[in-house]
Amino acid sequence: MTLATYLDAKGVDVRIIDMELDYGLPLNENGEKKLINHFIDDIFFEKIDWIGFSTTTHDHCQTSVNLALAVKEINPEIPIIFGGYQATITTEDLLKKYNCIDAVVVSEGERTSFNIHQRIVNGQSIFTSKIKNLAFRNNDSIMFSARGSLIDLAKIPPLKFEFLENMDKYPIMSLLSSRGCPFNCAYCTEQIMRNRYRVEPMKKIARQVKVMQELNSVRNMGINDPLFGINSKRTKQICQILKDANYSFAYETRADVFKPSMLPEIQKTGGEVMLLGLESTSKDTLLRMNKFVDESCYHQYIQNATKLIDMCFQHDVTPMLSLMLGYPGDTLIDLQSTVDFLNKSIALYSRYYPDEDAGPGLMICPHIVFISPQSRLSYQLNDYKKKGLSYEEGDLFRPTMVKNPSSKLKHTAVLNYKKKLLMLSKITPKTMDRLMRLVWCDFKKLIEHDPTLVTNDILSTLSAYQILVKSNRKLH
C-alpha cells in the first residue's frame, strides 16, 4: 500500500491486487490454482508495464512464485519484480532458482520501484547498478547494486485506501507509525531490511487516521510498530489521535521499552490488547537472543515485564505474551523458568479476578523457533551444533525449524512445554470478543465470495469455531 501510494503520487498508474481478499481464500487443493487462473484472467487485457510481488512470509513467496510462473507463460516480456522481507533475505536463491523473477528489490522499495518504472517506460534496461537496492542476474552471477539511503518518511503521502478493491472485507485497519528497530536480536532480520529506526511525522499520522475514518466504518485498529511505547510523549499523542477518531486498538511492544506507568492512560484512549514480545524469562536464553547487551539488564527486563502484566490486569487490558520455545542452546531449566514466571502471573490474575469468566484474560502464545536466513542466529548454527542443536532444514517456501535445541533438550520436551503453556491461558468472554475483532479478514465474506475454494471439512471447522466463540466456552 505504501509503495502504491508513493508511485501514485509520482504519477504512476498503479493497481493493487490482494489475492485472498479480492479473489477468495484457497482452502482446498484446487484453490490456489483457481486463484491463479482468476488472477491471469483479471490482468490479461490490461496494459502492464511491470508487476511487483510483495513477499512478507514463506507462504507469500511461494504464492508469488506460482503467480510469476503463470504470468511468464502468457507473456514472457512482462518484467517481474519481487520485494519485501522474504525476498530481501533470500535474494540469491530466488534469482538462481526462478528465471520468472527478473529482479529483486532489496530493503525498502519506494524509490527503487519508481526508478524501475522510469527505465521500463523509457525503454531502458533495469539490469543496471544505476538503480539502488536492486539485485538481478548477470550471466551466471547475481549482481547487487549499492544500497541507497533510507527514504524520508515525510515524503510518502498518507496511504491511499482507494487502491483496496474490497474495503468491506477488512474488519480491522492497520497503522504503522515507524520503521526499523534500534535493537539487534539474534533471530531477527530487521537490520537486514533496514538499519535505522525512523518515525512517521505526527501530522502525517493524524491525516492517515482521518482518511481511514472517512473511508471505513470499522473502528478496530492494529498498531504494527514492534516498539510501540518506546517514546512516551509520541505514544500518548498517537493514542489521543486514535481516541478522537473513536478507535479501539491493539499494539505491540518489547518487555523493556514500554513504561508501565503509561498503560492506564493508553487504556483510556482505547488500547485494549497488548502484544508483549516477552520471548523468554530465562537470563541465559535472553542473552543468547541478544535481547540486551549484558546480564545487568536482565532484572530490569523481568521487573518491567512483571509490572506491565500486573498493570494490564488492573486496567482491563488483555496481554498477549509472545514466547519462543526451544531457542538454540536451551535446556529444561530455561523452559521451566518461563513456566514459573507465567504461573506467578496466573496466580496474580486469579487474585484480581476470582471468577474465571471475569476480566480481560491472558493469552499465552508460544511458538517453536524458526531460523531466518541472514539473521545473526543463522551464522551461529555451527557453534550450537557442537552443543547438540539439530534442526529441520527449510527452503524458500518453508522455514528452517529448530528440533533439538541442545543435547540436554529434545524436541518432544519442547512440544510438551508448548502444550503446557497454551493450557495456562485465561480465556474469558472479553478475551474472545477482543481477539475476534483483531482477525485480519472476514472469513464469512471470503467463503461467501467463492464457496468452491473451501472443503466441507474446513466449513465444519469454521462453523464449530464460530459456535465456540459465541458460547464463550474455554478453548482449553
| pLDDT per residue rounded down to tens, the chain (476 residues) | 899 999 999 999 999 998 888 887 776 667 788 889 989 999 888 899 999 999 988 888 988 999 999 999 999 999 999 999 999 999 999 999 999 999 999 999 999 999 999 999 999 999 999 999 999 999 889 999 999 999 999 999 988 888 888 877 777 888 999 999 999 999 999 999 998 999 999 999 999 999 888 877 778 899 999 899 999 999 999 999 999 999 999 999 999 999 999 999 999 999 999 999 999 999 999 999 999 888 889 999 999 999 999 999 999 999 999 999 999 999 999 999 999 999 999 999 999 999 989 999 999 999 999 999 999 999 999 999 999 999 999 999 999 999 999 999 999 999 999 999 999 999 999 999 998 888 755 555 555 656 665 555 544 444 444 433 333 333 33
Distance between CA atoms of residues 151 and 3, nearest Å: 12
Choose among 89, 33, 84: nearest CA to 60.
Answer: 84
Which grid cell is 180? 526499523
Question: Do residues 139 and 120 lie in contact, with contact meaning Cβ atoms separated by under 8 Å?
Answer: no
- For 440, phi then psi, to 5°, come to -70, -15
Distance between CA atoms of residues 305 and 259, nearest Å: 10
pLDDT value of position 151: 93
- HSE-CB of 50 using CA atoms within 13 angstroms: 26
Q: From the DSSP assignment, how many helices (H) and strands (E) are in the chain?
A: 19, 16
Distance between CA atoms of residues 307 and 285, nearest Å: 21
C-alpha to C-alpha distances, 351 to 207, 310, 348, nearest whole angstrom: 43, 11, 5
pLDDT value of position 274: 97
Question: Running DSSP on this structure, what letter comes out for residue 22?
Answer: H
pLDDT value of position 322: 96
Distance between CA atoms of residues 376 and 399, nearest Å: 16
Amino acid found at 256: D
pLDDT value of position 470: 38
pTM of the model: 0.89
- CATH code for the structural domain at 170-436: 3.80.30.20
pLDDT value of position 21: 80
Question: Do residues 303 and 280 lie in contact, with contact meaning Cβ atoms separated by under 8 Å?
Answer: no
C-alpha to C-alpha distances, 325 to 28, 60, 349, nearest whole angstrom: 31, 25, 23
